[in-house]
Chain A
Amino acid sequence: MSENILRVEDLHMSFFTSAGEVKAVGGVTFDVRKGEVLGIVGESGSGKSATMLSVMGLQGTSGRIKSGRIMFNDEDMSMMNMNEIRGRKISMIFQDPMTSLNPVLTIGYQLEEALRRHKWKGDIHSRALEMLERVGVVPAEKRIKQYPHEFSGGQRQRIMIAMAMICEPELLIADEPTTALDVTVQAQILDLMKELQKSSGMSVILITHDLGVIAGNADRVLVMYGGQIMEMGTRHDIFYSSAHPYTKGLLRSVPNPDMPKERLIPIEGQPPDLLNPPKGCPYVKRCPEAMKICMNQKPERIMLSESHCYSCWLGVKNNA
């Protein structure tokens, strides 16, 4: 057995819409190690959610994986019955807890549904109560009979976490889990997720656009843009020695906690149109250091250290 729980190899995924083919993921390769929190940071359209939907087999009827492999515990996921995996081995929580819960069923029914579906050995009701207590939805006996509208946004997200973790998954994918929440509630939910991750030893993929959330919660970080991975490394690599112009630009566009009044340095321009993605690097039109080659050819991945790599022609040039 390797130390990786998940390996994504050269994944290409597109959505086929009436306007044409949207190349949401254009060749993405990464690993998730056992017991780690991998943060994925990127803006809308960067392909971070599309990559995860592919992993879960939830790309829908308009989405299609065109090439690449996804390995879970060294086994090719295309050979697996996803109904056995989803909710059991890999779980997912989403940004909006209200639309993820069924409004006409009690939360108890929805929690127990996963256990019934996956033929949980043991008492289903007491397991549901136990999970509610662990995520701090108390008194569990009373709350388990209530409906989603009787809970606040933060509590609904706690319920989503309980539901995702009720079958003790090996990998939890959290897609913007705190974006819809207020900052004090966000801190509570992130603390809860950290605690549950530590005690269960599961791996977590934390997707967010908030660099602060990444800095405080991820072991390793993957920076995505225009359907591709721009840079990958430990959080120290990314925040203290970022190499890719996009990562640098992103870090400069948020206020510096030491110099909060300093003028921001935005990334000029707009994200690429994935109906007609650039032939070369997706960041080429906004990159202050773009060269001719960046227009036409995708850069290769350059290793800076064992943990740190990035994809940029500048690095190729500097190495030569």
Chain B
Amino acid sequence: MLSVENLKKYFYTSNGIVHSVDGVSFNLRKGETLGLVGESGCGKTTTGRTIIKLYEPDEGKIIFDNQDITHITQNEMLPFRKRIQMIFQDPYASLNPRMTAGDIVREPMIIHGIPKDEHDDRINHLMRLVGLNSEQAGRYPHEFSGGQRQRIGIARALAVEPELIICDEPISALDVSIQAQIVNMLEDLQNQLGLTYLFIAHDLSMVRHISTRVAVMYLGKIVELADSDELYTNPKHPYTLSLMSSIPIPDPEKSDSRKHIPLKGEIPNALNLPEGCSFHPRCPNAKPECRSLDVTLKDIGNGHLCSCPFTE
């Protein structure tokens, strides 16, 4: 459905070039959920935003439904925006406080030329679909809780019947008990409407739960990609190993018996990427040759892709 090839997005700042997305490639299959995980600054959000062309890509290709959309104009992009929608992290900042919930959900219908006489029926239907009631369409965002606002954001994304939804940290700002409500709803909607998700998040256990496959990003590159159970039970890249061993486990005995593989230091500045494998300065198994290594994703069996050549 979507294929991203060697995508690059740089930001030019007064301090130098930030290599936010530095050669990312993956395929997204129809009906699946691909999780994109990594720590802040790894480029996962930029990847999502570049795919929907909120940012103009610097290099590489974005192929959606066999059509190259990499460098098409904003006008040409419009029909694709109808098919690719986005849900944002912050349910407070992503809704216009001066518009009612109903008008927020109506806006994409106006932009994409859906006949006016259908709007109200659709709004009522969408409000119910996301677990709100149609009377609430007349209320303003501040009258809703965080979880309810996120439901409005989801209704807005669904308003134009998209095929692919880019979910950028859709549950990070929500309380634990509300997160489960939203995750279940996203799963139900996927089953009912045949949606495909790119699910960007840093909560690794929730990503495992919702995703078919998971890609791990580090400093603008995907370092490992596999089916989610495979990735979590059999991680290969040293960064993934450390990441997995840092997930807090809600079980005291498992938590005590698990060995945590600490990483040295913190994620380096994206202005000055390390030479070779960009993970080598923090890698517990770094070898001298890692400084000049050309890292590309290689299949190590059963579609498990890993960029580190030194895994057992």
Q: How far is the CA of A286 from the CA of B145 in the complex (A)?
A: 15
Residue of B whose beta carbon sits closest to that of A45: B175
Contact present for A211 and B176 (CB under 8 Å): yes
Interface size on B, residues (CB 8 A): 42
Is B136 an interface residue when CB atoms closer than 8 A count as contact?
Answer: no
Residues facing A in B232-264 (CB within 8 A) are 232, 242-243, 245-252, 254-256, 260, 262-263
State how many angstroms separate the Cβ of B302 from the closest Cβ of chain A.
Answer: 18
Residues facing B in A153-185 (CB within 8 A) are 153-155, 182-185
Contact present for A183 and B243 (CB under 8 Å): yes
* Stretch of A257-265, A287-295, A305-313 that contacts chain B: A257-265
Q: How far is the CA of A184 from the CA of B256 in the complex (A)?
A: 17
For A187, list chain B residues within 8 Å (CB).
245-246, 260, 262
* Stretch of A110-118, A126-134, A246-254 that contacts chain B: A246-254
Q: How far is the CA of A116 from the CA of B106 in the complex (A)?
A: 60
Contact present for A268 and B175 (CB under 8 Å): no
Is A280 an interface residue when CB atoms closer than 8 A count as contact?
Answer: no
Residue in contact with A191 in the complex, picked from B242, B251, B262, CB distance below 8 Å? B262
Q: How far is the CA of A210 from the CA of B205 in the complex (A)?
A: 12
Contact present for A215 and B176 (CB under 8 Å): no
Contact present for B202 and A183 (CB under 8 Å): yes
Contacts A43-B177, A264-B180 given; does A270 touch B148 at CB 8 Å: yes
Interface size on A, residues (CB 8 A): 45
| A27-43 interface code vs B (CB 8 A; 1 in, 0 out) | 00000000000000001
Q: How far is the CA of A186 from the CA of B203 in the complex (A)?
A: 12
Residues facing A in B168-221 (CB within 8 A) are 175-181, 183-184, 187, 202, 204-206, 208-209
For A152, list chain B residues within 8 Å (CB).
266
State how many angstroms separate the Cβ of B270 from the closest Cβ of chain A.
Answer: 12
Residue of B whose beta carbon sits closest to that of A266: B180
Is A235 an interface residue when CB atoms closer than 8 A count as contact?
Answer: yes
For A251, list chain B residues within 8 Å (CB).
250
Residue in contact with A215 in the complex, picked from B229, B232, B248, B260, CB distance below 8 Å? B248
Contact present for A257 and B248 (CB under 8 Å): no
Contact present for B209 and A261 (CB under 8 Å): yes
Residue of A whose beta carbon sits closest to that of B242: A184
Residue of A whose beta carbon sits closest to that of B268: A152
What is the count of residue pairs linking A and B with beta-carbon distances less than 8 angstroms? 126
Contact present for B254 and A257 (CB under 8 Å): yes
Contact present for B176 and A253 (CB under 8 Å): yes
Residues facing B in A264-304 (CB within 8 A) are 264-268, 270-271, 286
Residue in contact with B175 in the complex, picked from A213, A240, A271, CB distance below 8 Å? A271
Is A212 an interface residue when CB atoms closer than 8 A count as contact?
Answer: yes
Contacts A216-B249, A251-B250 given; does A44 touch B209 at CB 8 Å: no
Is B40 an interface residue when CB atoms closer than 8 A count as contact?
Answer: yes
Is B48 an interface residue when CB atoms closer than 8 A count as contact?
Answer: no
Is A66 an interface residue when CB atoms closer than 8 A count as contact?
Answer: no
Is A239 an interface residue when CB atoms closer than 8 A count as contact?
Answer: yes
Contact present for B266 and A185 (CB under 8 Å): yes
Contacts A184-B242, A253-B176 given; does A216 touch B248 at CB 8 Å: yes
Is A89 an interface residue when CB atoms closer than 8 A count as contact?
Answer: no
For A236, list chain B residues within 8 Å (CB).
252
State how many angstroms separate the Cβ of B5 from the closest Cβ of chain A.
Answer: 28
State how many angstroms separate the Cβ of A6 from the closest Cβ of chain B.
Answer: 23
Best-buried of A153, A182, A209, A239 by chain B (most CB within 10 Å): A182
Is A188 an interface residue when CB atoms closer than 8 A count as contact?
Answer: yes
Q: How far is the CA of A255 from the CA of B181 in the complex (A)?
A: 12
Residue in contact with A43 in the complex, picked from B176, B204, B252, CB distance below 8 Å? B176
Q: How far is the CA of A183 from the CA of B207 in the complex (A)?
A: 14
Q: Pull 10 A–B residue pairs with CB atoms less than 8 Å apart, ordered by A.
A: A183-B246, A183-B248, A187-B245, A253-B176, A254-B176, A257-B205, A264-B183, A266-B178, A270-B148, A270-B178
Interface on B for A, CB 8 Å cutoff? 39-40, 145, 147-148, 175-181, 183-184, 187, 202, 204-206, 208-209, 228-229, 232, 242-243, 245-252, 254-256, 260, 262-263, 266-267
3 closest cross-chain pairs (CB), A and B: A212-B248, A266-B180, A253-B180
- Assuming A215-B252, A255-B206, what are 14 further A-B pairs, CB within 8 angstroms? A153-B40, A183-B39, A187-B260, A188-B263, A210-B248, A213-B248, A235-B252, A253-B176, A253-B179, A253-B180, A255-B209, A264-B184, A270-B145, A286-B177
